[in-house]
């Protein structure tokens, strides 16, 4: 009925599912909505401009989807084991993902460094380009299935290195500074946020957003529907399914807690 925006709806669902700005490990999760980070102009009337919202990030290409299904089929089912049967052993939202996106702003700079052992990461692994991050998460990197955070739709400041942090130099000689934006943003963080928000509120996303919600918050989150959707994660990520009180072995318990804090947690099903 268009009585609330897609942004407001997603924030409401995140809150219902226990996600909060106060917890980096359960930070609000938002979808990649675009697949076009190379055009000079952004055409929001073309379906090919958009990411396939009916598929998780691990299944955005046919080849990538095939590899994750193969991984799932090769691992025997096992409980309480790091090699448990799943498509993904990494997560789409974690404390380090949140801090890496917001690393150019305090207090996230300090958070990122503390999670990294006191310093910035290797420059080539730092968040430096929207396009290359999309390519990594949707196609190139089998350990990267990250989604976005709400700030991508309202906060241009996180895309600039206004504090002049020395983030290092990449192997090709590029000195890290502001985040590299798609050509259609004309190097302007405000224009990027404006167009990105328009994409989130577009007719295409409004018509397909429920598919992504099914994957993250709904019935395709776990069980047979998740297997069919290529959307299963390591059992340790499902916090509401893991009863830590019944685990007597302190080593296993600390391993699970460390796993969750490092790699993320599935939202509560709503």
Cβ-based neighbours of 164, under 8 Å, separated by 6 or more: none
133-161 residue pLDDT tens:
999 999 999 999 999 999 999 999 999 99
Q: How far apart are CA 256 and CA 81, in angstroms?
A: 10
Q: Is residue 28 part of a domain?
A: yes
> Any bridge partners for residue 50, and if so which?
34
Q: Is residue 135 part of a domain?
A: yes
Which residue has 């448990």 as its token pair? 84
CA distance readout (Å), 56 to 65, 70, 162, 165, 249 = 9, 16, 33, 34, 34
Cβ-based neighbours of 75, under 8 Å, separated by 6 or more: 83, 84, 85, 86
| pLDDT for the residue 82 | 54
Q: Is residue 50 part of a domain?
A: yes
Q: Is residue 269 part of a domain?
A: no
Percentage of residues in the chain having pLDDT higher than 70: 93
19-75 residue pLDDT tens:
999 999 999 999 999 999 999 999 999 999 999 999 999 999 999 999 999 999 987
Q: Is 180 helix (H, G, I), strand (E, B) or coil?
A: strand
Kindly state the greatest CA–CA separation across the chain: 58
DSSP 4-73: S-HHHHHHHHHHHTT--TT-GGG---B---B---S-SS--TT-GGGB--TTS-GGGSSHHHHHHHHHHHH
Q: How far apart are CA 38 and CA 95, in angstroms?
A: 29
Task: Give the pTM.
Answer: 0.92
CATH number at residue 102: 1.10.1540.10
Q: Is residue 266 part of a domain?
A: no
Q: Is residue 54 part of a domain?
A: yes
The four Cα atoms 47, 213, 107, 155 give a dihedral, to 10 degrees, of 40
In this prediction, residues 90-97 reach a mean pLDDT of 93
Q: Is residue 268 part of a domain?
A: no
Q: Give the residue numbers spanning the domain of 183.
A: 6-261
* Structural domain count, the chain: 1
């Amino acid at each position: 009925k268009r009585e609330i925006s897609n942004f407001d709806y997603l924030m409401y669902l995140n809150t219902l599912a226990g996600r909060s700005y106060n917890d980096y490990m359960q930070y609000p999760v938002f979808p990649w909505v675009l697949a076009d980070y190379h055009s000079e102009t952004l055409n929001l009337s073309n379906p090919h401009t958009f990411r396939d919202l009916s598929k998780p990030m691990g299944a955005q290409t046919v080849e990538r989807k095939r590899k994750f299904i193969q991984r799932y089929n090769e691992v025997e089912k096992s409980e309480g084991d790091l090699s448990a049967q799943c498509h993904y052993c990494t997560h789409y939202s974690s404390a380090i993902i949140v801090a890496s996106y917001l690393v150019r702003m305090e207090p996230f700079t300090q958070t990122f460094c503390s999670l990294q052992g006191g310093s910035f990461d290797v420059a080539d692994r730092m968040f430096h380009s929207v396009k290359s991050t999309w390519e990594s998460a949707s196609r190139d990197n089998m350990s990267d299935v990250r989604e976005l955070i709400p700030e991508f739709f309202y906060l241009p400041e996180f895309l600039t290195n206004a504090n002049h942090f020395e983030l290092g130099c990449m192997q090709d000689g590029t000195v890290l500074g502001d985040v590299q934006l798609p050509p259609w943003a004309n190097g302007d963080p405000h224009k990027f946020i404006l167009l990105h928000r328009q994409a989130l509120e577009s007719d295409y996303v409004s018509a397909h957003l429920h598919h992504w919600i099914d994957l993250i918050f709904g019935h395709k989150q776990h069980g047979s529907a998740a297997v069919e959707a290529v959307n299963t994660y390591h059992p340790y990520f499902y916090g509401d399914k893991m009863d830590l009180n019944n685990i007597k072995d302190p080593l296993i318990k600390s391993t699970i807690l460390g796993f969750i804090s490092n790699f993320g947690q599935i939202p509560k099903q709503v």
